[in-house]
Amino acid sequence: MGGTIIYVDDDEDLRDLVRMALAMEGSLEMVAFASGAEALAEAPGLRPDLILLDVMMPGMDGPATMRGLRDHAHLADVPVVFITANARPGEAERLLALGAAGLIAKPFDAVRLAATLRGYLG
């Protein structure tokens, strides 16, 4: 099963790591953005199957980015998975209560990342 993933993270090295992990697997494509504002600017022209958002980013954090993306009707029901280095107790519950489909803790297993993300695609 293929699909397109929007990935928003201010860390260029992590964007590159995720891009390589998905390229190794082959069936998932990624469109990456360095900020929530950048993703919101490009969102009207995108038709992703999944949105992967860093929780903590300068300017606009992941939850604010999710709210902005969901303002676009064609993105309102796209599953959102958060990725964070700050997986403190209660964080997953808080993000799920906001409407997220899941949470991936950093550091993550790059070899298993594509399979994990495919699990959110259905």
pLDDT tens readout for residues 30-76 = 999 999 999 999 988 999 999 999 999 999 999 999 999 999 999 99
Domains and CATH numbers, the chain: 3-120 (3.40.50.2300)
Distance of CA 44 to the CA centre of its chain: 17
Give which of 72, 34, 30, 37 is closest to 54, Cα–Cα. 34
Helix, strand or coil for residue 4? strand
- What local confidence, expressed as pLDDT, does residue 10 receive? 96
Q: What is the pTM of this model?
A: 0.94
Which amino acid makes up residue 37?
A
